[in-house]
A and B are shown apart, each in its own frame.
Chain A
């Protein structure tokens, strides 16, 4: 009965590789997000999808591309990985009101 799930939990890969992180929510929420958390715990929003439409696209490199096959899923594809991409990536979802966001457990990406 996990609300927001992400896979994988850990991802270790080499520079230049392409990888994907999957996210699914079973809360029936309309909006999903991707955040990046750096080593100092600072959270930065990357993308947001509302009913499969991109509504926020912060200034992230175009090597990052979100894909939402349906309202319950928002996957993150990363091409040509770089050392600076190493971080924890969190998926989240929220309803369309004044409620907060519900976060997944995170994916720790390490690029070597």
Chain B
């Protein structure tokens, strides 16, 4: 079945550091890929997405590129801020009749210190 593997957290960075959170996936067909962010005490928010190979999703300074050859969708940000502290989830969705489910990774907690 489909699965998503994220790097184990927690990740602690200083403000303005470079961020990479690794995500790899296993899926049948050609899934859409997503990153979600969950700020403390809140629900999940869609951060960015990519629907086909070589697509780059971007939002709020975050980027991720859909790499079919390595089955990866790593999240990057050039300069993190304290306000980026949250839990980040990588997810995939395999389209097709009767297949609407999102498969999530286990989440990576990011803490950014001043």
Task: Give A contacts to B, CB under 8 Å.
Answer: 4, 31, 40-43, 45, 48, 50, 55-56, 90, 92, 94, 96-106
CB-contact partner of B98 in A40, A55, A99, A102, under 8 A: A55
CB-contact partner of B49 in A45, A90, A92, A99, under 8 A: A99
**Residue with the highest number of chain A CB atoms closer than 10 Å, among B32, B38, B95:** B38
> Chain B contacts of A94 at CB under 8 A?
100, 102
Task: Give B contacts to A, CB under 8 Å.
Answer: 32, 34, 36, 38, 42-46, 49, 51, 87, 89, 91, 93, 95, 98, 100-102, 104, 106-107, 109
Instruction: Please report the C-alpha to C-alpha distance between residue A92 and residue B43 in the assembled complex, in whole angstroms.
Output: 10
> Chain A contacts of B107 at CB under 8 A?
41-43
Instruction: Please report the C-alpha to C-alpha distance between residue A96 and residue B46 in the assembled complex, in whole angstroms.
Output: 17
Listed by A's residue number, 27 A-B pairs whose Cβ atoms lie within 8 Å are A4-B43, A40-B106, A42-B107, A43-B44, A43-B104, A43-B107, A45-B102, A50-B100, A55-B98, A56-B100, A90-B43, A92-B44, A94-B100, A96-B100, A98-B93, A98-B95, A99-B32, A99-B49, A100-B36, A101-B46, A101-B93, A103-B36, A103-B43, A104-B43, A105-B42, A105-B43, A106-B42
CB-contact partner of A100 in B32, B42, B98, B109, under 8 A: B32
**Residue with the highest number of chain B CB atoms closer than 10 Å, among A92, A98, A100:** A100
- Nearest Cβ on chain A to B111's Cβ, whole angstroms: 14
**Residue with the highest number of chain B CB atoms closer than 10 Å, among A31, A41, A98, A101:** A98
- Nearest Cβ on chain B to A23's Cβ, whole angstroms: 11
> Chain A contacts of B34 at CB under 8 A?
100
Instruction: Please report the C-alpha to C-alpha distance between residue A90 and residue B36 in the assembled complex, in whole angstroms.
Output: 14
